[in-house]
Each structure stands twice: as structure tokens, then as C-alpha cells.
Homo-oligomer: A and B are copies of this chain.
């Protein structure tokens, strides 16, 4: 029985370690085995490592992965969009798996809250076969019914550079809605912030303001077309940032503010940046970072609408890939991939992300 390597997180707060597991001998009908080409390290992986969400251990992290199909299970001959699929094809896939039948999937149409939702790179104890259900590994097994996307002309760097952040931004902005002509503030200049910027600009925003840091990320935001940036290392007071946003948006505040930071305190700052009747999107709080002081009176008086969005659906990834095909030149997501590590140095890669030292670290097994 052939074996392959994976970088395993044995438990919260513990270094990743390289382990070997047997590759599946048989591929179920509808399933696929993929040789990993590149695995993105997402900020969420850091949150998971810190234990901010309850997940099984040991686990192979990695929910942003591109690879080549080694073996296709019987009957799997087309990708999620209907394009023909063959062994050797380079593919990405949507990490989440939805049941399509539960209260949230069909009754309330909130499939991201599927009662049986699992996700590659998050929900599977890797001691159990088929073991390879996360991206930090040489191979990845895809269960029947996985949403697989053939990449064709899209480069691996582009797809991993966009990562799950793009899907998340698409979902969030779909829920909040951007009206044509809106002034949009984006709190945060990490992958989710840059994705939100790209989506907002193509969804009708006329003026975009990105608040974040450090400077190299804000430069990237400029490359992505941010009209203004506010560096939190320079403008260190929330009141000053609010003031700047108001001034830049004609005095009343922004039509929409998108939180892509994950720190609770930015939310009250963001409320103040909205014009009356404005929209606020809490997008960066996938992890539970605790409570903060918020004044409900602000929501009433400014008649805000505050939206939450959790993860995304396969169709958002389909839209994201189409977006990269169509607008990839305008938004060079491939440039986010700044640090490459071999599989053996996976923990170092994760730490680089944790320190915010990288635009984006990736594993190249």
C-alpha cells in the first residue's frame, strides 16, 4: 500500500508535524484523487490552530488547494460547471461539503449553515481513512459530490492568491448588496479586504477607501484600485480615521462599510463610518474573538443594516473563478502569493501567516 506525506496538526497550539498515511487503494464512484500542486495558508488556519473553533484533531489543515487529478472515480466525468474532466486536469475545489437536504439547505436556503456541513482541511480527523482530506499534503482525496472546478487557463498562483477570501467576499457582498454609485469603506487590507475591494469595485462602487496596514498591503490595495488608503500605523486614533472617511465621502459617511479584520473593536468604529441608512458587513469574524462594546442606539438612530455572512457556497467559487478569468488583469491576485514553503516547513509557513509577515504563504509539496 503506497504512502504519502502530510503536515498534521496534532492539537491546538502544537507544531505541525509530517506524518505518512496510506493512499486510498480504491477511488469510490464519483470521487477523485488529486496530487497537490499548491496549498494556501489562510488566516483561518491560524484561528483554527489557536483553537477558536471546535474541530477534530489530529487534522490536516488546508482548504485552499490546487492539484492535478491522478485518478477519477467511476462516473465522474464533468466538473461542477459541466465542463469535461479528465485525469491530468489541474483543478481547484470548493472546500465545504453540503448535504443539500437539511433545514438550512432547502427549507431556509442558507446552505452555508448546512446542518451536516463539513469542510476539507477543517472537519476531518486525519487518522481515519481516507486520511487525505486537507491541503497541507502531497495528495488530496475528494469525496463524491465535491464541487470540483477545472482551472484551464487560470494560473495556480491566481487561484491560490485569491483563495477562500475571494469566495467569502463574494458571498458577503451578495448578502449586503452594493448599490451602483456607493462609497465603500473596507476595514482591513489582508486577503479578505483585498478581495472585498475587488468585488466592491466591480459591483458598482464609485469610491473605495481601504483602512489597514502595513504599507506594503496598502500599496497592493492601490494596485487593486483603492481610491484612498488610510494606514492604521499612521492614523492611530479611531476618531481620526472616522473623520477622514467622512471627509472623503462628502461629509455624511460611507454608503457601505465592510469589516475584514476580525478584531471586535473595529466594528463600533465602522458603525461611525456609515452614513445614516448605510450598510455594514461583518465579514472578518469567522473566528470567535470575543465580545466588544457596541451601542444599539447607533443602529436605531442611524438606521443601519448590519449583515453577517458565513463562508460561501460552491456557486460563489464558480463566480470567483469566472471573475478571475474576466477581471484577473485588473486585480492581480497572483501577486498575493509572497512566500513559498515546501511541505516539510509547513509549520514555519503557518507562523509566517500568523505574524502577518506575508501577503500570503503557500505550500508547494
A224 CB-CB contact with B under 8 Å: no
Q: Say how far A315's CB is from chain B's closest CB, in angstroms.
A: 5
**Please, how many angstroms separate the alpha-carbon atoms of A310 and B276 in the complex?**
10
**Please, how many angstroms separate the alpha-carbon atoms of A175 and B180 in the complex?**
11
29 contacts between A and B (CB under 8 A): A82-B103, A100-B100, A100-B101, A104-B277, A106-B313, A108-B276, A109-B109, A113-B277, A175-B303, A180-B203, A181-B323, A202-B204, A203-B203, A206-B323, A259-B296, A284-B300, A285-B297, A285-B300, A286-B300, A287-B297, A288-B295, A288-B297, A289-B297, A291-B293, A299-B306, A303-B308, A304-B307, A305-B306, A306-B306
**Please, how many angstroms separate the alpha-carbon atoms of A175 and B300 in the complex?**
12
Residues of B within 8 A of A239 (CB): none
Q: Say how far A94's CB is from chain B's closest CB, in angstroms.
A: 11
Tell me which residues from 162 to 176 in chain A have a Cβ below 8 Å from any Cβ of chain B.
170, 173-175
Partner pick for A291 among B100, B174, B264, B294, CB 8 A cutoff: B294
**Please, how many angstroms separate the alpha-carbon atoms of A139 and B284 in the complex?**
54
Partner pick for A319 among B180, B275, B292, B318, CB 8 A cutoff: B180
CB nearest to A112 among chain B residues? B303
**Is there an interface contact between B296 and A292, defined as CB atoms closer than 8 Å?**
yes
**Please, how many angstroms separate the alpha-carbon atoms of A323 and B181 in the complex?**
7
Residues of B within 8 A of A259 (CB): 296
Q: Say how far A272's CB is from chain B's closest CB, in angstroms.
A: 12
**Is there an interface contact between A181 and B294, defined as CB atoms closer than 8 Å?**
no
**Please, how many angstroms separate the alpha-carbon atoms of A142 and B295 in the complex?**
35
A3 CB-CB contact with B under 8 Å: no
Partner pick for A107 among B299, B308, B318, CB 8 A cutoff: B318
Q: Is the interface of A mostly helix, strand, loop or mixed?
A: mixed
A283 CB-CB contact with B under 8 Å: yes
What does the 1/0 interface line of A310-321 toward B look like (CB < 8 Å)? 100111001100
Copies of the protein in its oligomer: 4
**Please, how many angstroms separate the alpha-carbon atoms of A306 and B277 in the complex?**
12
A26 CB-CB contact with B under 8 Å: no
**Is there an interface contact between B275 and A108, defined as CB atoms closer than 8 Å?**
yes
Residues of B within 8 A of A300 (CB): 282-286, 308-310
**Please, how many angstroms separate the alpha-carbon atoms of A286 and B57 in the complex?**
48
A356 CB-CB contact with B under 8 Å: no
What does the 1/0 interface line of A83-119 toward B look like (CB < 8 Å)? 0000000000000000011011011111011000000
CB-based closest 10 A-B pairs: A110-B277, A299-B308, A306-B306, A113-B276, A285-B300, A291-B293, A291-B295, A288-B297, A285-B297, A294-B294
Q: Say how far A169's CB is from chain B's closest CB, in angstroms.
A: 10
**Please, how many angstroms separate the alpha-carbon atoms of A146 and B263 in the complex?**
45
**Is there an interface contact between A203 and B204, defined as CB atoms closer than 8 Å?**
yes
**Is there an interface contact between B296 and A282, defined as CB atoms closer than 8 Å?**
yes
**Is there an interface contact between B110 and A276, defined as CB atoms closer than 8 Å?**
yes
Residues of B within 8 A of A277 (CB): 104, 108-110, 113
Residues of B within 8 A of A285 (CB): 296-297, 299-301
